[in-house]
Amino acid sequence: MVELCLNLNLTKMKNIFCILLLSYGFVSVAQNSKSINSIVPAGDGLYYMHYDSSGSKSTIVEFEKFIVMLEVPIKDEGGGARNLKDHTLGGEKALRSLKQKFPNKPLKYVIHSHWHPHSLSSLKPFLANGSNLVSTAKNFEKLREFIDEPTEKKYKNQILFVETDSLVISDEKNKIAVYRFLQKDFPNTPTPDYLFFYLPKYSALHSGCMYNRWEGPLVAGKEVLTGREEDVNRFLTAFHVKPSYFIRLNNDYKEEKNMIPYSKFSNVIANGITGANIAKRYFAINTKTLDLKRDSLVADAIANNIPASIFNSGVYTALSEKDIPRALIFARYQVMLNPSDANAWDTLGEVYYFQGNKEVARFYEKQSRLISPSFKEGGEEVWKADLVEYQKQWK
């Protein structure tokens, strides 16, 4: 493991903050509670910053002479965000919040798990503040959309990459072990590489959005074991990490200290039903039978609380195999099971687009917008880009 140097320059940090105060009028604004985020304690030297704008949280770890912030989820746009922008005002608000809570300790490191905005929504205010960004080279390729080339050069010494499989930040008060793992080894990871943060003082693994718990009803009498949970379990085994708790981006208010006990995780690992097992009920059926027995099979899905997402997976599995008729059947199943979902109609439109029936595809795109005017994750431009990628696979 690589030990990270922890030299501080408190004078520089104070000067930077004074400049910000004079430039942006933070002195008067900071007294207004609406201008700061809520920060609550979760343990000795452990805190959460909550964001009303996203419903998510940052985790703050306090060291002897500085603090570290894990994740900056100002906006929860997920993996569907295609054009990143720096939510600068939200970043400045986060800094004001930290300054008020920790007036004598600078924010030395901002660490994020992956490039999606629900992991990092703002960058420039933190670099200007003198904080160091801990990322990966692969994630930073995408984050360059936040900043121009001169800005990147200006702050290049504050941008640090985890290049091996782990990195440590520690002093006598606290410790963070940062683990890097790759999508090629953990296939449900949302980006090509990803960072986990283990906090040994609290026996807690900060897993970001990778610990994706099933929140719906029991399926065929069992809790669903998600693919990401399977990957988390593989990570724990591969890296020999044994946490007692998990910290997520979600505000898990129902859990003590906003942490999920390991026992809940291990229970679903041992007893849950996987998406693959659910899918077998339908994916093994030939295309003709799926079409002819659509009503009875949909009734079976309703009776067993089969999630519509299973059929969404069927759509894209069939598309990857260039089986457009089968993809269309699964897309229709999804719409029947979840007719109020804009994404279901968008998926149906995409299959028609792949089929070459663009008039019908555009009709269903309009339907998705009628259901949810704010839905931005699909549409003809996205379908067009997707088709190009699938055509590469089909070759």
Torsion of CA 118, 123, 127, 133, to 10 degrees: 40
Tell me: do 299 and 385 sit in the same domain.
Answer: yes
Over the range 198-213, which residues count as b (16 or more CB within 10 Å of their CB) and which as e? bbeebebbbbbbbbbb
Tell me: do 266 and 381 sit in the same domain.
Answer: no
Q: What are phi and psi of 387, to 5 degrees?
A: -60, -40
Sign of CA dihedral 357, 363, 366, 371: negative
pLDDT band at residue 33 under the 50/70/90 scheme: low
Among residues 216, 236, 271, the one where a domain terminates is 271
Q: How far apart are CA 97 and CA 91, in angstroms?
A: 10
Among residues 271, 287, 310, the one where a domain terminates is 271
Report the relative pairing of strands 204-208 and 245-248 from DSSP bridges: parallel
331 CB burial (10 A radius; 0-12, 13-18, 19+)? buried
pLDDT at 187 over 60: yes
Mean pLDDT of all residues in 185-210: 96
Q: How far apart are CA 134 and CA 167, in angstroms?
A: 10
The whole-number pLDDT of residue 78 equals 65
Tell me: do 229 and 337 sit in the same domain.
Answer: no
Of 167, 271, 280, 292, which Cα lies nearest the Cα of 229? 271
Q: How far apart are CA 61 and CA 47, in angstroms?
A: 7
* Beta strand spans in the chain (E): 2-3, 38-43, 46-50, 57-62, 67-70, 107-111, 132-135, 159-161, 166-170, 175-182, 193-199, 204-208, 224-225, 245-248, 260-261, 273-274
Mean pLDDT of all residues in 171-193: 96
Mean pLDDT of all residues in 79-86: 76
Tell me: do 99 and 77 sit in the same domain.
Answer: yes
pLDDT at 14 over 50: no
Mean pLDDT of the residues in the chain: 90
Segment 107-155, tens digit of pLDDT: 999 999 999 999 999 999 999 999 999 999 999 999 999 888 999 999 9
Check: CB of residue 138 under 8 Å from CB of residue 114: no
Q: How far apart are CA 46 and CA 204, in angstroms?
A: 11
CA distances from 328 to 160, 240, 310 (A): 46, 43, 14
Tell me: do 375 and 328 sit in the same domain.
Answer: yes
Strand partners, 70: 59, 111
Q: What are phi and psi of 70, to 5 degrees?
A: -100, 115
pLDDT at 177 over 80: yes
Q: Could you give the 3-state DSSP secondary structure of residue 38?
A: strand
CATH number at residue 297: 1.25.40.10
The whole-number pLDDT of residue 173 equals 97
The whole-number pLDDT of residue 23 equals 41
Check: CB of residue 109 under 8 Å from CB of residue 171: no
Tell me: do 265 and 299 sit in the same domain.
Answer: no
Sign of CA dihedral 341, 192, 75, 252: positive
Segment 339-380, tens digit of pLDDT: 999 999 999 999 999 999 999 999 999 999 999 998 888 999
pLDDT at 255 over 90: yes
Q: How far apart are CA 347 and CA 361, in angstroms?
A: 9
The whole-number pLDDT of residue 87 equals 94
The type of residue at 383 is: W
The whole-number pLDDT of residue 80 equals 67
Segment 231-252, tens digit of pLDDT: 999 999 999 999 999 999 999 9
Q: How far apart are CA 17 and CA 3, in angstroms?
A: 28
Tell me: do 263 and 333 sit in the same domain.
Answer: no
Q: How far apart are CA 84 and CA 74, in angstroms?
A: 13
CATH number at residue 88: 3.60.15.10
Tell me: do 322 and 187 sit in the same domain.
Answer: no
pLDDT at 27 over 60: no
303 CB burial (10 A radius; 0-12, 13-18, 19+)? exposed
264 CB burial (10 A radius; 0-12, 13-18, 19+)? middle
Q: Which two tokens mark 122?
A: 């703002």
Q: Of 53-57, 104-108, 150-154, which gets the smallest average pLDDT?
A: 53-57
Question: Given the structure tokens 């997707």, which residue do they identify?
Answer: 386
Q: What percentage of the chain exceeds 70 in pLDDT?
A: 90
Among residues 271, 300, 325, the one where a domain terminates is 271
Tell me: do 236 and 362 sit in the same domain.
Answer: no
Mean pLDDT of all residues in 173-190: 96
Tell me: do 53 and 111 sit in the same domain.
Answer: yes
pLDDT at 161 over 80: yes
Q: Determine the structural domain holding residue 209 and report its residue range.
A: 2-271
Segment 284-324, tens digit of pLDDT: 999 999 999 999 999 999 999 999 989 999 999 999 999 99
Segment 203-215, tens digit of pLDDT: 999 999 999 998 8
pLDDT at 79 over 90: no
Tell me: do 185 and 332 sit in the same domain.
Answer: no
pLDDT at 4 over 80: no
pLDDT band at residue 35 under the 50/70/90 scheme: confident
Of 135, 171, 161, which Cα lies nearest the Cα of 62? 171
Domain count, the chain: 2
Tell me: do 249 and 102 sit in the same domain.
Answer: yes
Q: Which two tokens mark 109?
A: 């490191």
The whole-number pLDDT of residue 54 equals 80
Q: Which residue has the higher pLDDT, 374 or 180?
A: 180
